Amino acid sequence: MILVDFNIIVAAIVDHHSSHADAMAFINAGDLPPLLVAAHSYAEAYSTLTRRGGPQPYGLDPRRAVEGLRTIQSLSTTVAMNAEQTVSAVEAFADVGIGARLYDYLIGRTGVVYGANTIVTFNTAHLRALFPALAVRTPAEWLALNPAPPPPP
């Protein structure tokens, strides 16, 4: 199973995102293993999509952002940790990091809870450091390692 990071969702929804083509190539690839999305990734993606000003000011209309998120949700399985799993994840993170990387950790840990063996993200450096036992790939890396089978004759 593949856990899809929130930044793949953002890139897929925003046509003018610098990584839009890579995100769409991955999402539209045939024969993908089941895709998982951590529920709170939708909140992080919505915040990024609708932000105005500052870094990455996509400024999408809220309804357009939700429409894009619903499209991604229809192509994946939304997963979430329960309260105890979340608190335990925060405790475990205290042994490896501080600050906002906690959000990356919670996304990855959610995937681990649901059996993901791969995380697809544009944030490979942080997630590889947090989850050395998992395969952490960009969409292009994943596609290069998992080429589509040839069409039947």
* Residue 58 clears pLDDT 80, i.e. is over it: yes
* Residue 90 clears pLDDT 70, i.e. is over it: yes
Domain layout of the chain by residue ranges: 2-145
* Residue 3 clears pLDDT 90, i.e. is over it: yes
Higher pLDDT, 59 or 65: 65
* Residue 53 clears pLDDT 80, i.e. is over it: no
Annotate 111-149 with b (16+ C-beta within 10 A) or e (fewer). Answer: bbbbebebbbbbbeebbeebbeebebbbbbebbeebeee
Mean pLDDT of 96-120: 94
Return mean pLDDT, the chain.
Answer: 93
Indicate the pLDDT class of residue 55, thresholds 50, 70 and 90.
low
User: Tokens for 89?
Assistant: 């994840």
**Whole-structure pTM value:** 0.91
* Residue 81 clears pLDDT 80, i.e. is over it: yes
Q: What is the CATH code for 2-145?
A: 3.40.50.1010
